[in-house]
Structure 1
C-alpha cells in the first residue's frame, strides 16, 4: 500500500512545476508560422525579455536547453585560442568552459573555498596577475545548481573593475533568473544566459541570452560564430524566420508569454521576495533537522554553511549517515514526492530540493512534511521538527488577513 495516489509533486531544481495557466496557454493548435499572430508574439517577447534581466539591451531566444544557450554565448563572443577564467563553486561553470574548450577555447579554473561562494579578492588578484590580458572573459554561475552556492555578481564585477581588466563578465543564470535579484546593467554583466524550465515556469526547450554593447563588440571579431547560433543572422529585422534560425517553438512562445504575464502581475521584486521567504523556510527546516555535533549520528545539514552564500532557488542537503537514495525513494514511492539527486559528490550522501518558479507555502510545507515523515519512517537522526521551523519562518513573513465579516459570530446573523 502506498499513499502516493494523488497529484505528484516534483521538487527538483528544474524542470520546475508548470502552472496550469502556462499549460493552458500551450494547449493550442499550430498556426501559420510565417505571418500573423506568432510573428507578433515573437517580437513582443523580444521586447519584454530585457526587463526580466533588468537590462536595456537585446535578448536572443534559441530552441535549446541551458547548454545550448551556453554555446550561443561562447560562439558569438570568443575566438579559437582565447582564454577564459572560470569561477567555480560546484559544477556548472567548469562544464560551460569544457564546452567552450571543444571549440578551441582555453580555460583556467579559480576555485572558491569549499562549500562557499567565490571570494572577490581572489578574482582581483588573479586578474591583476594577467599582465598580458589573456583572459577574454570571466565565466561564473550566479547559482550553481549542483552545490546550491550563490555568487555575488555585483561584487565580482567590482573585483574585475578593481583589477582594471577588460574581460567580459558572462553569467550563467539558468537556475537563478526569476528567482534571485539580478541587475544585468547595474552590475555590469556583459552576457546573461538562462533557460525556460526553472524560474520561468515553461517546459524545457528555450535557451535565452542577453547581450551588452561590449559583448556585441566582441561578437564582431569572434571567429567561433556558426550559422545556427549567430546573433547577426538572428537580428535581421527583415527576416523574422531567422530569429529562431528556422521554425519557431510555437507552443513554448505562448507558454513564455503567459509566464511573463504571471511575473508581471506579481511584480518581479515580489517574485524575488517570495523566493527568499521560501528558501529561508527550507534552510530553517534543514537546520532544525540537523543533529548538533557530538550529540548523535550525523543527519541532514545544509551544504552551504554561510547564509549569504545560499541560493534562493535550490538547496543542496548533505544527508550524513542517512542514505539519500533511500530517503528519495521513500518520498517518491510512498508519497509521490520527487526530490533532486545529488550531482555534487557521492550520490548517496546528498539530495537537492528545488524551490523555484510556481511555488507557495502549501507546496513547500507539504514537501518538508513528507521529508520529515520519511525521515521518521527510516528512524533517521533528527534534532527537531523541520516542519515547525519552516512554518515559523513563513509566519514571520505573513501578513494576517482582516477578519471576514458575516461569520457565525457576527451580531448581524
Structure 2
C-alpha cells in the first residue's frame, strides 16, 4: 500500500524543483547563435547575474556544474604552488580545496567542525600569523549543504580586512544565491561562484563566476589558465567566445525565465520567503528532537541555513529507512546524509521554488514516516510549523 502518485517531489538540496514556467521556457526551437537576439539574451543574463551577486565586477557563464565553476575560479587566479587557505564548515569548501590541490596548489585547511560555522576570529588569527603573505586565496562556502551550516561571509570579509591580508577572498554561493542575501562588493569578496540547479531554479548544467577588478588583475599572471575556463578568452568581442563555443541555448532560456521570476517576486521577498519557510522546518525539527533521537546537526541556531536543514538521527535508528519510506510510500525525496554524516542524518531542502504547501507537505510526510517506522519523536512538529507561519504571515 502506498499513498504516492503522479510527480515525485524533490526535497533534496539540488537539483531543486523547477517551476513549470521554467520548463516551458525551454520548449521552443534553438536560436541562431549568431543573431542579435542571442547576443541580447547573453548580455541580459550576464548583467543580471552581476546584480544577483551584487557586484560591479564581471560575470561569466560556463557550461558546467558547480564543480566546474570551482575549477574556473581556481584556474583563473592561481599558479601552481600557490597556497590556498580552506575554511572548513562541512564538505564543500573542502571539496573545492581538494580540486585546488589536484590542480597544483598547496592547500591548508583551517579546521572547523561539521557541527558549526566558520569562526571569523580564527580566520583573522591565522592570517595574522601569515606575515610573509604566502596565502594567496581563501576559500569558503556561504552555505554547506552537507552540514547545513550558514557562514557569516560578511564577518569573514571583515576579519580578512582587519588582518590586513591581501589574499583573494573566494566564496561558493551555490546553495545561497537567489535565496539569501549575498553582497559580493560590500562584503569584500573578490571572486564568487554558483550554479543553476538550486536557488536559481534551472536545470543542472550552468556554472556562474563573478570577479572583481582585483581578481582580474591577478588573473593576468595566473599560471593555471586553460583555454576553456579563461576569463580573457571569454571577454573577446565574438559572441561565441562567451561560451567557448556553442551556447547552451535552452538552459539559457530556462535561466532567463527563472531570473525574471525572482525579479518579479523581488529579491527582498524571496529572501523573506526562504527565511520564513526555513524557520518553519526548524520549528518542526525542534519539536521532533524532544524524542531524544532526532536533532540539528548544526548546534547554534544562528548558524543554521535558510536553504537546507541537516537532521541527525541517533539511538541506532536508520535515516535511510526514513528516506526510503518517504520516497517509496509517499513520493517525497529527502536528502541523505553525505560525507561524515552518511548513514547518520537526512536533509530537508527549502530552497528555490518552494512555498508553504510544499514545505508543510514535506514535513507532514516526514512525520508520517517517523510514525510508521516507530522512531521516537516529540509530537506536533507540523503543528509547530503551522503555528509559526500563522503568526508570521499576517492576514
**TM band (smaller chain):** over 0.9
- Structure 1 CA distance for aligned equivalents of residues 129 and 341 of structure 2: 35
Q: Which residue of 2 aligns with 1:352?
A: 347
Note if contact 2:114-2:147 (Cα within 8 Å) is conserved in structure 1: no
Structure 2 Cα separation of the partners of residues 291 and 399 of structure 1: 29
Deviates more, 1:326-335 or 1:33-42: 33-42
- Counting only pairs closer than 5 Å after superposition, residues 83-232 of structure 1 correspond to structure 2 as 83-232=83-232
Residues 296-315 of structure 1: CA deviation (Å, up to 9, x unaligned): xx321111121110111111
How far off is 1:7 after superposition? 2.5
1:324 maps to what in 2?
Answer: 319
- C-alpha separation in 1, matches of 2:113 and 2:260: 40
In structure 2, the CA distance between the partners of 1:346 and 1:357, relative to structure 1 (3 Å rule), is closer
SS in 1 for 2:340: coil
Structure 1 segments (4+ residues) deviating >4 Å: none
Q: 1:364 aligns with which of 329, 338, 359?
A: 359
d(CA) in 2 for partners of 1:299, 1:111: 28
Contact 1:111 1:118 in 2 (8 A): no
Unaligned 5+ residue runs, structure 2? none
Partner of 1:38: 38
Aligned CA-pair RMSD: 1.0
Q: Distance in 2 between matches of 1:372 and 1:88?
A: 32
1: distance between equivalents of 2:107 and 2:126?
Answer: 13
Unaligned runs of 5+ in 1: 293-297, 401-413
Q: How far apart, CA to CA, are the structure 2 residues paired with 1:149 and 1:111?
A: 14
SS at match of 2:140: strand
Aligned counterparts of 1:240 and 1:364: Cα–Cα separation in 2: 41
1:22 deviates by 0.3
Cross-structure match for 2:240: 241
Q: Is structure 2 residue 232 aligned with structure 1 residue 272?
A: no
Q: CA deviation at 1:112?
A: 2.0
Report the counterpart of residue 315 of structure 1 in structure 2: 309
Q: Report the secondary structure of 1:7's partner residue.
A: coil
| Separation in structure 2 between the aligned mates of residue 39 and residue 56 of structure 1, nearest angstrom | 20
How many angstroms does 1:39 deviate by? 2.2
Which residue is equivalent to 1:406? none
Match of 2:186, SS state, is helix
The TM-score, its normalising length taken from structure 2, stands at 0.98
- Aligned equivalents of 2:117, 2:379: Cα separation in 1: 28
Q: Deviations over 1:135-157 (max 9, x none)?
A: 00100000011101011011101
**CA offset at residue 347 of structure 1?**
2.3
- What is the aligned counterpart of 2:393 among 379, 382, 398? 398
Using the alignment, how far apart are the partners of 1:268 and 1:218 within structure 2? 32
Matched, 1:386 2:385: no
SS of equivalent residue, structure 2 residue 46: helix
Offset, 1:100: 1.0
The match for 1:52 is: 52
User: What's the CA shift string for 1:222-243, capped at 9, x where partnerless?
Assistant: 010000000001011x211010
Distance 2:100 2:248 in 1: 26
Offset of residue 113 of structure 1: 4.1
1:334-345 aligned within 5 A: 334-345=329-340
Matched residue SS, 1:392: helix
Partner secondary structure for residue 185 of structure 1: coil
**2: CA distance between counterparts of 1:102 and 1:247?**
28
Q: Distance in 2 between matches of 1:207 and 1:27?
A: 21
TM-score (norm 1): 0.94
**CA apart distance, 1:114:** 4.9
1:325–1:347 CA contact under 8 A, matched in 2: no
Aligned residue runs from structure 1 range 51-90, under 5 A = 51-90=51-90
Could you tell me how far 1:346 is from its partner in structure 2?
Answer: 4.3
Task: Tell me, in whole angstroms, the C-alpha distance in 1 between the residues paired with 2:117 and 2:200.
Answer: 24
Hey, what's the Cα distance between the residues in 2 that align with 1:43 and 1:84?
33
The question of 1:284 aligning with 2:279 is answered no
Match of residue 404 from structure 1: none
Report the Cα offset of residue 285 of structure 1: 0.4
Provide the secondary structure at the position in 2 that maps to 1:290.
Answer: helix
